[in-house]
Chain A
Amino acid sequence: MAVITVERKPLTLLERTYLPQIVGGLATTFKHLIAPKKTLEYPEQRPAIPPGYRGVPTLVRDPNGREKCVSCQLCEFVCPPKAIRITPGEISADQTDRAHVEKAPQAFDIDMLRCIYCGLCQEVCPEEAIFLQNQYSMSGYTRAEMVNHKDKLYELGGTLPDQHYKWDQKKTAQDHGNAH
């Protein structure tokens, strides 16, 4: 290996007094004292989240309050760190308001210790039911606390506008019936 000898220059008299460095440092300090503040008093103050931010994945309802997820398990499949776990379930025929959807998750768990916030689940969801929204801070004392269950996911997700009302349209068609 080539050895490069670096010449160490002796300090000049002025440098040895350290005064230029102290004055330079104080100048920076005083400049920031009067300059506008760049930091936030977190957690009392929270940053504004820009649109398109990928926060904690959440489950959402449509404006009619319908649970959108039908447990197709595509997000479970696509999730690179395998953070999602779904137990699919059937909606029984006697729940007349949503029986036409037939399928909904019995359990839906997202392990936030595994999640890498990649947003693939949101991208793959054919029902537009899972979104990475503004929530960015997750903390807990145990591993179990860091797993978001279905109730928590809906609580975090809330309601988002819907462009299609696919299942409502299906129900209308069903109630309407065939022409013959």
Chain B
Amino acid sequence: MPKKPITFVLNGAERAAFADPGQNLLDFLRRGVGDLTPKYGCGQGGCGACTVLLDGEPVLACLTLAEAVEGRRVDTVAGLGGPAPHPLQEAFMAHFAAQCGYCTPGMLMSAKALLDRNPRPTREEVIEAISGNLCRCTGYEPIIAAILSAAASGARP
């Protein structure tokens, strides 16, 4: 089957690349487009390391067909922050919310989706928002604290 051209908006800029038929969005972003920030953890929806935003909603890129993003907006960690880190990234650093860091891109995108729709979440809402993201290292507590503190700081570029 021939490759299919996909045109979409990645982190605010229009992009076009070829996708293999049936290729998943994670593979497409990493190998077709060269955005290595979404991580491959399990490839089957179990870990959340590949979480990206599709039109602002968190999706598991490993379970999303590349073709599904045609004409739509995809956001990844590569688009977070500008010259300075995003407030969520600042908060993750301040709270030591990453050890090996493999879960961090997925955690950040899940957290961003939460704060975009609910700027002042409760602890329970934060837990709910990251419940699909596995972390082997931190014990989650510093991640929860970081997201709550980013929310409390109110900054939202």
B partners with A: no
Interface residues of B (CB under 8 A from A): none
